[in-house]
């Protein structure tokens, strides 16, 4: 039983706040991906969990134990460092077995665990090499194997696949996921690759500038981002954002965008109407818009700039006033650059965003 | 495992870059050093060659060793025409005319040592002078004038002190002696040699080869060194000091370096405190510790203060060699540990923080991190420090001098000094220097070998 509870953790370097009041609960045996752009504080938060660099405020619990002040070696965790941090003077075998040796495991256990971990990471034939005789990717796999061989309850991984080629990364991604399910470790996995996050995580914690933005399942984070940053950071292409202006129509509220009127879904009308007379941002994913040749209700007229055929879909870059949008259409839909189209915005796929705070406007408390 | 690749191109750029340095080293360092060190096996003045006629071109009749007794059979002054050869002793003789002691006119030759020139022509030719007075008791009162420019020539008259003379002719002579002596192989040989290589005794009939003009390679000085009664005590003490000091020093230095390393984040105060002794010369440290251990020194004052002794103890005397060794060990530890520490600290700082953090995370306690991570990664630094300290330990000198006066406890460097200064025995001093050099070299090679074989074993 190793639930990780990060409670209001803050870490400050001088007067720079690297992690700002972060709270995440990672459930027992869960695979949580910590996702965010470079420099947002992912490593710093992970190190705080590991006990390397004490948190300046807050509390960290592993299982039922408050480990805020426990030494790293006493937390029953293992970790893959972003810089690998493998021991240059030891062979791969000694590196992988180091944690077990320090914890006084029997020689037999060390040998079997080391070989098992090495097999998993396809470095079984490198066991007698030294780090300076290996490629960067091989070193990284040694670092992962070293962490796995410990069979600790908590596994912290700081971008463990960042140095592998695309193919190997794809393979390792699946393998690692299967593996972690097997070892039943509670895992925090740091990455800045959103595809990795979406495909591997049980849940994703999105971080920006030291602040946790959203912690949710991948599908939720993708479809229902909490704010404009999450929407723009996750998904390829990222979520589209359009400026509009809210005004009260005869019977209900409407948003003027590119000469058309978009009516919010019924449960959001109250929330949106509070913006009456002010600007609002509309967020929608490329695949959620319908492209039409004629005007309908809730459609906006757009100009096609670029057409990118991607096989399963065509990705259009279109213009609405000053904003550009990415729209994906079925490959059979006839379109060429310069055409005019009507885009349909299904009301239930639209995220309305407060342009001042960037927060997605929640559905009225209905 | 390095399979040599024959087609690999060699880069000469580094050699070009260091060429000026090599030339500089060769000209200003290696050459004089070789000149000095070769003294250990080469006696520059061992042999005096004798020649058949009194001329540098004469055929060799044999060689006499330095110090050999000779009979002086004759003497010859060769007139030097034109350029003087610097190789020979020359004498200037004046032909003088004057009124002699007996009132008669005298015309004859006198050496420059007897005549003071008082008047010269514009081109420097002496024209007139006076007879130098003879000083001292028992000196021959009168100056003889000779028929020829040769001390054995017939006396033609005598001059009073300070008599005025006219100089009519000047000649320069190379003086050669015809000598007979016993050569190294026991044969009696006879021949001519320039006079400056021979000391004559009072009688003028006998003399000794003062020094030779030919060198000879010899192990004499090396043997003299090995047979020197101070050699084995000096070697033993040097090795003993090394065996006590180095292990203690490295333990201390590693401890200090670990303290400095773990505190560096909080400030480098410890580093400054620990490296303070590096700023003091070894002689100063020796004197400092002398001041502590001397009979009215600090140690006695403290012992007295606590009432532990009745009267001042004598720590540094011939009867208390142990105390002197102890004091030297303390002084050397105090003085030279910091340099080892600085090398180790720099080695520690080269270890990435994350490496140590990883070890900590994987459950290594502090001591296990020291044992399994820091020490192995420090191996290159430790090796550098070990070689440096071993070489310096062979040279230990000033501290020993300060604490024992170089009499009671002696070390190799002190023997070098004694041979050179007190005994004026440059060759034996040089032999000691070469011995120290070889010991240093051998120890460095030894350490490097050990490390290499260890690495080979490890990578197997
Ligand atoms: N020891 C430190 N001293 C000062 N600032 C630091 C220190 N460590 C990290 N920072 C700063 O804290 C911020 C977060 O760093 P962190 O390493 O956690 O980023 P990250 O999210 O892991 O980025 P990346 O994806 O590039 O690894 C960065 O802006 C960094 O400059
Ligand atoms: Mg990082």
To test the contact with chain A by mutation, choose from B357, B361, B367 the residue with the greatest count of A C-beta atoms within 10 A, namely: B361
B407-443: per-residue pLDDT in tens?
A: 888 999 999 999 999 998 889 999 999 999 999 999 9
Distance in Å, alpha carbon of A96 to nearest chain B alpha carbon: 10
Name the residue among A119, A150, A113, A146 with its Cα closest to residue A131: A146
Rounded to whole angstroms, the Cα distance separating A151 from A76 reads: 9
ipTM reported for the complex, 2 dp: 0.86
Rounded to whole angstroms, the Cα distance separating B373 from A89 reads: 8
Q: Which residue of A has its CA nearest to B363?
A: A73
- Residue of A51, A102, A130 lying closest to B362 (CB–CB): A102
- Residue of B352, B357, B368 lying closest to A52 (CB–CB): B357
Q: Is the CB of A38 under 6 A from ligand 1?
A: yes
> Which numbered ligand comes closest to the C-alpha of A192?
1
Rounded to whole angstroms, the Cα distance separating B415 from B394 reads: 12
- Let me know: does A293 contact A347? Beta carbons within 8 Å: no
Number of CB pairs, chain A paired with chain B, less than 8 A apart: 58
Q: How far is CA B246 from the centre of its chain?
A: 27
Q: Do B362 and A50 touch (CB under 8 A)?
A: no
Q: What residues have CB less than 8 Å from B87, skipping those under 6 apart?
A: B56, B194, B213
Rounded to whole angstroms, the Cα distance separating A147 from A114 reads: 10
DSSP label of A287: G
Residues (pLDDT < 50) of chain B are 1-4
Q: Do A85 and B352 touch (CB under 8 A)?
A: yes
**Integer angstrom CA distances of residue B373 from A77, B368, B386:** 20, 8, 19
Q: Does B365 touch chain A (CB under 8 A)?
A: yes
pTM of the model: 0.78
**Integer angstrom CA distances of residue A176 from A26, A158, A173:** 18, 14, 5
A106-130: per-residue pLDDT in tens?
A: 999 999 999 999 998 889 999 999 9
Q: What residues have CB less than 8 Å from A125, skipping those under 6 apart?
A: none
Using omega within 30 degrees of 0 as the cis cutoff, is the peptide bond preceding B178 cis?
Answer: no
**CA dihedral sign, ordered A91, A92, A96, A97:** negative
Q: How far is CA B122 from the centre of its chain?
A: 48
Rounded to whole angstroms, the Cα distance separating B310 from B251 reads: 36
Domains annotated on chain B, with CATH: 49-211 (no CATH), 224-459 (1.10.3720.10)
Give pLDDT, residue B8: 66
The answer for A 121-180 residues in CB contact with B (under 8 A) is: 130, 146, 150
Q: Does A301 touch chain B (CB under 8 A)?
A: no
DSSP label of B418: I
Name the residue among B406, B270, B279 with its Cα closest to residue B336: B279
Domains annotated on chain A, with CATH: 4-233 (3.40.50.300), 240-363 (2.40.50.140)
From first to last of its 366 residues, what are the pLDDT tens digits of chain A? 689 999 999 999 999 999 999 999 999 999 999 999 999 999 999 999 999 988 899 999 999 999 999 999 999 999 999 999 999 999 999 999 999 999 999 999 999 999 999 998 889 999 999 999 998 889 999 999 999 999 899 999 999 988 888 888 888 888 888 888 888 889 999 998 888 999 999 999 999 999 999 999 999 999 999 999 999 999 888 999 999 999 887 778 888 888 888 888 888 888 888 888 899 999 999 999 989 888 888 888 899 999 999 888 999 999 988 889 999 999 999 889 999 999 999 988 999 999 999 999 876 443
Distance in Å, alpha carbon of A47 to nearest chain B alpha carbon: 10
Q: Does A1 touch chain B (CB under 8 A)?
A: no
SS3 B196: helix
**Integer angstrom CA distances of residue A330 from A88, A259, A312, B80:** 53, 26, 7, 120
Q: Do A87 and B360 touch (CB under 8 A)?
A: no
Residue nearest to atom 1 of ligand 1 (CA): A13
Give pLDDT, residue B132: 85
- Taking residue A25's Cβ as centre, other Cβ atoms within 10 Å add up to 14
Mean pLDDT of chain A: 90
Give pLDDT, residue B1: 44
To test the contact with chain B by mutation, choose from A43, A88, A132 the residue with the greatest count of B C-beta atoms within 10 A, namely: A88
Q: Do A79 and B365 touch (CB under 8 A)?
A: no
Q: Do A81 and B354 touch (CB under 8 A)?
A: yes
**Chain A residues close to B459, C-beta within 8 Å:** 130
- Residue of A72, A86, A88 lying closest to B361 (CB–CB): A72
The two tokens of residue B318 are 């011939």
Cα B23-B29-B32 angle, rounded to 5 deg: 115
Rounded to whole angstroms, the Cα distance separating A25 from A62 reads: 10
């Amino acid at each position: 039983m190793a639930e990780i509870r990060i409670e209001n953790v803050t870490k400050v370097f001088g007067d720079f706040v690297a992690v700002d009041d972060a709270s995440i609960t990672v459930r027992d045996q869960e695979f949580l991906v910590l996702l965010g752009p470079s420099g947002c504080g992912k490593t710093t938060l992970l190190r705080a969990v590991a006990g390397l660099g004490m948190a300046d405020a807050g509390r960290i619990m592993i299982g039922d134990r408050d480990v805020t002040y426990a030494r790293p070696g006493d937390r029953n965790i293992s970790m893959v460092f972003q810089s690998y941090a493998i021991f240059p003077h030891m062979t791969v075998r000694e590196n992988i077995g180091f944690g077990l040796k320090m914890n006084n495991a029997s020689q037999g256990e060390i040998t079997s665990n080391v070989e098992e971990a090495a097999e998993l990471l396809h470095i079984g034939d490198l066991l007698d090499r030294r780090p300076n005789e290996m490629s960067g990717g091989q070193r990284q796999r040694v670092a992962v194997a070293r962490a796995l061989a410990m069979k600790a309850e908590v596994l912290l991984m700081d971008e463990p696949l960042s140095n592998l080629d695309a193919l190997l990364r794809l393979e390792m991604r699946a393998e690692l996921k299967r593996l972690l399910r097997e070892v039943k470790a509670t895992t925090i996995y740091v990455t800045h690759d959103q595809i990795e996050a979406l495909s591997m995580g049980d849940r994703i914690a999105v971080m920006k500038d030291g602040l946790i933005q959203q912690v949710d399942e991948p599908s939720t984070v993708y479809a229902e981002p909490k704010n404009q940053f999450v929407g723009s950071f996750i998904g390829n292409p990222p979520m589209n954002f359009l400026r509009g202006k809210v005004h009260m129509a005869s019977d209900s509220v409407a948003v003027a965008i590119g000469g058309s009127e978009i009516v919010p879904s019924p449960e959001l009308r109250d929330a949106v109407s509070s913006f009456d007379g002010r600007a609002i941002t509309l967020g929608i994913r490329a695949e959620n818009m319908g492209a039409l040749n004629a005007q309908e209700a809730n459609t906006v007229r757009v100009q096609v700039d670029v057409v990118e055929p991607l096989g399963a879909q065509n990705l259009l870059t279109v213009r609405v006033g000053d904003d550009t949008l990415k729209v994906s259409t079925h490959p059979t839909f006839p379109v060429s650059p310069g055409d005019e189209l009507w885009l349909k915005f299904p009301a239930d796929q639209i995220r309305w965003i407060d342009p001042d705070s960037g927060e997605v406007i929640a559905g009225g408390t209905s | 495992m390095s399979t040599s690749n024959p087609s690999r191109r060699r880069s000469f750029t580094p050699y070009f870059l260091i060429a000026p340095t090599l030339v500089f080293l060769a000209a200003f360092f290696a050459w004089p050093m070789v000149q000095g060190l070769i003294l250990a096996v080469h006696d520059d003045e061992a042999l005096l060659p004798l020649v058949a006629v009194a001329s540098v071109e004469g055929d060799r009749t044999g060689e006499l060793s330095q110090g050999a007794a000779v009979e002086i059979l004759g003497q010859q002054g060769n007139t030097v025409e034109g350029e003087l050869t610097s190789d020979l002793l020359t004498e200037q003789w004046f032909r003088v005319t004057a009124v002699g002691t007996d009132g008669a006119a005298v015309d004859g030759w006198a050496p420059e040592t007897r005549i003071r020139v008082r008047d010269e022509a514009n081109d420097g030719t002496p024209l007139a002078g006076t007879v130098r007075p003879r000083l001292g008791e028992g000196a021959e009162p009168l100056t003889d004038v000779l028929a020829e420019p040769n001390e054995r020539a017939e006396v033609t008259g005598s001059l009073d002190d300070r008599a005025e003379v006219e100089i009519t002719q000047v000649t320069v002579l190379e003086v050669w002696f015809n000598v007979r002596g016993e050569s190294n192989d026991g044969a009696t040989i006879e021949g001519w040699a320039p006079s400056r290589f021979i000391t004559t005794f009072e009688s003028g009939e006998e003399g000794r080869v003062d020094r030779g003009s030919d060198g000879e390679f010899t192990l004499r000085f090396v043997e003299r060194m090995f047979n020197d009664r101070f050699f084995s005590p000096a070697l033993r003490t040097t090795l003993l000091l090394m065996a006590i000091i180095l292990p203690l020093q490295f333990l201390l230095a590693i401890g200090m370096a670990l303290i400095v390393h773990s505190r560096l984040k909080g400030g480098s105060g410890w580093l400054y405190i620990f490296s303070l002794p590096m700023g003091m010369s070894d002689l100063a440290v020796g004197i400092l510790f002398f001041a502590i251990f001397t009979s009215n020194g600090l140690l006695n004052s403290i012992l007295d203060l606590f009432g532990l002794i009745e009267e001042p103890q004598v720590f540094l005397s011939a009867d208390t060699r142990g105390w002197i060794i102890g004091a030297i060990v303390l002084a050397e530890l105090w003085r030279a540990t910091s340099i080892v520490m600085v090398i180790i600290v720099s080695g520690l700082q080269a270890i990435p923080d994350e490496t140590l953090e990883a070890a900590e995370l994987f459950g290594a306690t502090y001591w296990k991190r020291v044992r399994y991570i820091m020490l192995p990664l420090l191996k290159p630094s430790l090796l550098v420090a070990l070689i440096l300290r071993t070489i310096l330990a062979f040279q230990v000198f000033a501290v020993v001098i300060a604490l024992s006066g170089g009499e009671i406890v002696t070390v190799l460097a002190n023997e070098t000094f004694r041979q050179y200064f007190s005994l004026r025995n440059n060759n034996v001093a040089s032999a000691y220097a070469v011995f120290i050099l070889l010991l240093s070299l051998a120890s460095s090679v030894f350490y490097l070998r050990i490390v290499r074989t260890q690495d080979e074993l490890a990578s197997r």
